[in-house]
Structure 1
């Protein structure tokens, strides 16, 4: 069955994930910036939340690109150790060196993660040779790849996603993510992906009266958080495709 992974950046999102029964969460902070490493306290809260599915922690030390300096790599490795020690079931990382997978970084993460699952995130979508990267990540022992097929939205790259699934050949999971909406879930499933990743986010009113930074101007009227209705629609769309394929006697890829 195709899994549903929900990206969560606050405690309200944790509660939604537990109530609606998603398959897995990617725990992070600052989703509007593409996500960065959450705090250790947040990881501990997630793992301790009743009814929470497996927690996979995004480990990304800063916004921006994925070619990390030596000191940044040291932070990534330590954050992976902290996340696993706190009870995370997996980590989500990515690194690029000279336009290809940073094999040294990923290998070090695999080593310190132990039995926990390792996902390579959308740094994958910046690579010039994604099929070659699949082979490299398989050899390193990565469990899955989060990808939009190289497009801004996964729904714009259905042939590319299907090609990645074919290239993976069951050796590594391909998880579709990037602008995923309920109406495109069926198309993504038909592309053969093992999982669908989405944030299901909405905006809530929360005005700040003073400018806190260049991306946090005073007077802004809202912030992003998990939208329970949107997540419910995403799950319903996935279950609808599952029910339809089950009636037709067609199995899911996953």
Structure 2
């Protein structure tokens, strides 16, 4: 029997976190400001969620819209403050103006994480060369996941890339878990599962009422059944 697939849900606050856990989420991605595609949340939010749920929480390290690291010392400071507030897992990813990985920025932040596990997020979908990016990051401590749709527009366009990368699992640069998210729909799930993908990430799909409404435990439950391959 294969191990249960991971279902990660975006949470903005403790209410979201509680609903996501009730619906069967394994992990949360904690962000603020979805108008900017998710930025670093307040320390108090992190502490509140850590007290509200007992599933894993990955906290976004991103201070402004886009994939530029900005002032790296500010990101490093945020990482340290979040760790002091109880954060143990993180999400990050920085590119330079040419679409190459900003290795200097990533290395500085990862050093501040001091061994914490982390996801390289959808910056990979905007990279000039996905394969080169993976190989440059391959030996960084703590990196265990890539959040990707396979393309910048989303999973519909990125499906061939996702299937190809899933087939390379275990190769150098491809040891990390593929966490599929970004325009992901329920009808994508069976094909991805059949290809060996075992981690899924949802944001808006967990909120039938839109981003102004909280996470729906029932919506998460529907995704839980889908990624577990349970019909009905």
TM-score band, normalised by shorter chain: 0.7 to 0.9
Structure 2: how far apart are the matches of 1:112 and 1:151?
A: 29
User: Is the CA contact 2:88–2:116 (under 8 Å) kept in the aligned structure 1?
Assistant: yes
CA distance in 2, matches of 1:155, 1:96: 23
Bigger drift between 25-34 and 168-177 goes to: 168-177
Distance in structure 2 (CA, Å) of the matches to 1:164 and 1:151:
16
SS of residue in 2 equivalent to 1:236: helix
The answer on 1:203 being equivalent to 2:204 is no
The residue number in structure 2 matching 1:237 is 226
* 1:193 to 2:194 alignment: no
Instruction: Note the residue ranges of structure 1 that are not aligned, 5 or more in a row.
Output: 205-221, 244-254
Shift of 1:192: 2.5
Deviation of 1:168 after TM superposition, in Å, equals: 4.6
Is the counterpart of residue 228 in structure 1 residue 179 in structure 2? no
Kindly state the Cα deviation for residue 240 of structure 1 after the two structures are TM-superposed.
1.9
Which of the pair has more CA radius of gyration?
A: 1
> What secondary structure sits across from 1:240 in the alignment?
coil
Counterpart of 1:61? 63
Q: Which has the higher contact order (CA 8 A, sep 6+)?
A: 2
TM-score by length of 2: 0.87
CA contact (8 A) 1:77 1:109 kept: yes
CA deviations over 1:85-119 (Å, ceiling 9, x no partner): 22222110110123211111111122111231111
TM superposition score normalised by structure 1 = 0.80
- Residues 100, 127 of structure 2: 8 Å contact kept: yes
Q: Give yes or no for the alignment of 1:21 onto 2:24.
A: yes
Separation in structure 2 between the aligned mates of residue 191 and residue 224 of structure 1, nearest angstrom? 33
Q: Distance in 1 between matches of 2:164 and 2:213?
A: 33
TM-fit CA distance, 1:223: 1.7
Cα offsets for 1:158-197 (capped at 9, x unmatched): 2200222334525212111102222322222223324111
Is the contact between residue 24 and residue 220 of structure 2 (CA under 8 Å) also seen in structure 1?
no
Q: Structure 1 stretches (4+) deviating beyond 6 angstroms?
A: none
Match of 1:246 in 2: none
| Corresponding residue of 1:122 | 122
- Structure 2, unaligned stretches of length 5 or more? none
Q: Distance in 1 between matches of 2:184 and 2:44?
A: 29
